[in-house]
Structure 1
Amino acid sequence: MNLSVLGQSKKQLENQRKKYKSEIAQLNRLLSTAVKKEKNALEDLKDLNQKIAVRNKLINTIDLEAKLLSNAISKNEKKRNTLNKNLEILKADYAQMIYKSYKSKSQQSRAMFLLSSQNFYQAYKRLEYMKQYTKFRKKQGEEIVIQKNIVEKLNDSLLYQKKVKDTLILVEKNQKKKIESDKQKQESLIATIKKKEGKYKREIKKKVQEDKKIAARIDKIIKEEIAKANRLARAKNKSKKPVSKNNNAFILSPEAKVLAAKFEQNKGKLPWPLNEGLIIRKFGVQPHPIFPGITINSTGIHFVAPNGSEAKAIFDGEVLNVLIGSGGTKNVLIRHGNYISSYNNLQNSYVKKGDKITTGQNIGKIFTDKVSKKTKLVFVLFKNNKRLNPASWIIRR
């Protein structure tokens, strides 16, 4: 591995390590507030599983970083040994040259060496030789100083790298201890859950069905909003050009086309729908994190955030609708041309239907569950009435 690749890999691992440490700190801050009641056993186990998963990632990263440092230290030690050998050779050559020079001076002076020349040309050549010899001696002395500095810098680098490696190993040991502690808690929670496994499974299946109904209701409302918007678009269309009767996609005005194009250009660069948070559930069909055989179809991304957090608009647009859920929580739908962003599980809404919205604008306070004490935001993204994976659109953190 060359030095540039080594440096790049080292930097990437350092960044990963910092990211996982930050994520663990967030997990501890955002997920440890749950009240320890029987009702929270499943939530606690999911939180614990997530912490263990991130700690394992951190340990693997530290392990790779330590191995990379070990390789770098080994290469540097070989390089230092080679430089030390070269330095010893240089010193020996220099000492021999000084000795010969001293011996030469004791036998005859420089003046006698020049005066003994047979002619002017020979004297000139002898003078040039003496100059070159002096220059060579000076250069060898300088080379020894340079080599000595290189060796000293390598020694300093090795000492620093060894300290970094020792620190990483200590951090790794500490994380392993914490994982062992987490696993003991995990086993205890699993034992608690297994006692009433049937009950928990029924509750989960009921929640899955409720989520399906909510998703179907939102799909219906979006289809109605598209149909309504398209009726208005057709009414405003004064030209004789035929307008599509398809109500599965928005009829876009020139302004809406521009907005949609800008939205698309920002794919992968859109801001998160909240200032601070962690993703606790990804988009799409996935197995339940605890019970095998139960499948979850996540319509968007689920975030957990600090208590009191607010949802923020990811792009300019217009409020398409503000929906009210069965528990009184709100879901704000914002239209961006033919794209819709949905911010669900809000305690209240700061906006109403028809309001113009700008990127980063606060649109509502996120609801905090009274039992789990968690503040969760469900963020969903649509193109017309088709759901998209929000992770592909928002910036990676």
Structure 2
Amino acid sequence: MQLKLKLKYTLFFGLLLSSLLAVAQNDKQAELERQRRALMSQIEELSKLRQSNKKKEINVLSQVEDLASKIKTRENLIRVTNSQANLLTQKINQNINKISELRAELSKLKEDYAAMVQKSYKSKSSQSRIMFLLSSESFLQAYKRVQYMKQYSNYRKKQGDQIKERTTLLQETNTKLIDQKEEKQQLIAQNKREQEKLEDEKKQQDALIATIREKESSYAAQINKKQAEANRIDREIDRLIREAIAASKKESGATTTSETEIKKGAMPTFALTPAAKALANDFASNKGRMDWPVERGRVYKKFGTSKHPTLPNITTYNSGVEIETAPGSVARAAFKGTVQQVQLIRGGGYTILIRHGNYLTVYQNLKNLKVKVNDQVSTKQALGEIAENSFNGKTILKFLVYKDSERLNPEDWIYNM
């Protein structure tokens, strides 16, 4: 009896543990599937943009950058798909073990049930049951025997139900195992296709890199020229921000603050009204959760200093993030605020500065504007159409974030950028 109880408890806790593991693995599998679909969507978007760019005269440097981005995304897709396949392997092995345990349990239940049926058969006649009751030495004993017969009958029914339940669970686990094996084969087949595409893209990249290296000095000069132009535009934007800060101080009557800041070597800061301070706090509290400044797009160039993917001796700096999107797309406000400045900057199209207390978001390379200075804008409100980049012909929005006169990394502020 103790052995039976021990076996039941062992099986119960084993099934409970496997159920908890299954829940955790299902959550992980769902997250991996979300990542896989997101990466496939990114690759599809990159393919569309690249197809669109093929119709234009896109220079070799831009082609290499496009391919590098696509290769990196595809490598991530392969990694995530491998993780899914490995997780499925674990689940398959767990279900194989579960099937083995269920079969052993079912076999034991059937043995016990068969023994009970055999025992019941020997004493199944109504005469033997009556004799069993009549042979009681007292009314109390007869009552106990009636209760025993009822319990015996209930226990037999319970065993029959357990056999049905375990049989159903075994069938369901077998079906799940077959589905998991099929899903794993599909993932392996998909990974094989992605590996083939990756190899093809790397060959294309190698051919383009060889072309670049033949004229390395010429391409390096192009990159340096582009960086010099970007630096000039950055200085112009910094000037506009300093003017806005000076205007805020003049309005508040804090005419000597900027001189004090200069003496202390501190960055100039906005003078804030209570309403502006509340808006700034609202902006800061939404860090990492703000909407993208375009409806659809991908980060073409990240914030900060980076080495060129094919010319390792070349280092570039980006004051914001450059977002590539489809031709005809519009820039939209990442957060509510007031249009502080609209400026046409040579080489950078129209630039819009939106103020959010002592924070600013900057939208560069626009045309066909939809807002003007002092307009109150809401989150996601259209600001203007994004123009083609003069250097590479792509539709690119440059997006910057400032706190007072300090540049911040936009990727820290926009959700999932």
TM-score by length of 1: 0.92
Q: Structure 1 residue 364 and structure 2 residue 384: aligned? A: yes
Alignment of 1:326-337 (within 5 A): 326-327=346-347, 329-337=349-357
SS at match of 2:181: helix
2:291 is aligned to: 271
Label 1:328 to 1:111 Cα distance change in 2 as closer, same or farther (>3 A): closer
Label 1:244 to 1:222 Cα distance change in 2 as closer, same or farther (>3 A): closer
Q: Structure 1 residue 193 and structure 2 residue 227: aligned? A: no
2:323 is aligned to: 303
Q: 1:281 aligns with which of 301, 311, 315?
A: 301
Amino acid corresponding to residue 10 of structure 1 in structure 2:
Q
When structure 1 is superposed on structure 2, of 325-334 and 288-297 the one drifting more is 325-334
Distance in 1 between the 2:376 and 2:295 partners?
21
Distance in 2 between the 1:224 and 1:268 partners?
28
1:350 is aligned to: 370
SS at match of 1:318: strand
Q: Structure 1 residue 165 and structure 2 residue 168: aligned? A: no
Distance in 1 between the 2:57 and 2:154 partners?
86
Q: Is the 8 A contact 2:347 2:390 kept in 1?
A: no
1:72 is aligned to: 91
2:153 is aligned to: 134
Q: 2:406 aligns with which of 372, 379, 386?
A: 386
1:253 is aligned to: 273
When structure 1 is superposed on structure 2, of 347-356 and 358-367 the one drifting more is 347-356
2:69 is aligned to: 50
When structure 1 is superposed on structure 2, of 5-14 and 335-344 the one drifting more is 5-14
Amino acid corresponding to residue 115 of structure 1 in structure 2:
L
Q: Is the 8 A contact 1:332 1:349 kept in 2?
A: no
2:4 is aligned to: none
TM-superposition CA deviations, 1:82-131 (whole Å, max 9, x none): 11111011111111211121123369622232233344333333322222
Alpha-carbon deviation of 1:268?
Answer: 1.4
Label 1:196 to 1:135 Cα distance change in 2 as closer, same or farther (>3 A): same
Q: Is the 8 A contact 2:371 2:383 kept in 1?
A: yes
SS at match of 1:2: helix
Alpha-carbon deviation of 1:59?
Answer: 0.5
Alpha-carbon deviation of 1:339?
Answer: 1.1
Distance in 1 between the 2:143 and 2:271 partners?
96
Alpha-carbon deviation of 1:373?
Answer: 4.5
SS at match of 2:253: helix
Distance in 2 between the 1:358 and 1:116 partners?
92
Distance in 1 between the 2:141 and 2:55 partners?
101
2:343 is aligned to: 323
Q: Is the 8 A contact 1:276 1:305 kept in 2?
A: yes
Distance in 1 between the 2:208 and 2:83 partners?
32
Alpha-carbon deviation of 1:39?
Answer: 5.4
SS at match of 2:244: helix
Identity across aligned pairs (percent)?
41
Distance in 2 between the 1:225 and 1:137 partners?
86
TM-superposition CA deviations, 1:350-390 (whole Å, max 9, x none): 22222222222111100024785421000011111110111
Alignment of 1:229-248 (within 5 A): 229-234=248-253, 245=259, 246=261, 248=268
1:26 is aligned to: 45
1:150 is aligned to: 169
Amino acid corresponding to residue 191 of structure 2 in structure 1:
E
2:141 is aligned to: 122
Q: Is the 8 A contact 1:35 1:372 kept in 2?
A: no
Q: Is the 8 A contact 2:246 2:258 kept in 1?
A: no
Q: Is the 8 A contact 2:351 2:366 kept in 1?
A: yes
Amino acid corresponding to residue 76 of structure 2 in structure 1:
K
Amino acid corresponding to residue 88 of structure 1 in structure 2:
S
SS at match of 2:312: coil
Distance in 1 between the 2:241 and 2:283 partners?
19
SS at match of 1:33: helix
Distance in 1 between the 2:232 and 2:287 partners?
29
Q: Is the 8 A contact 1:329 1:348 kept in 2?
A: no
Distance in 2 between the 1:29 and 1:357 partners?
31
SS at match of 1:18: helix
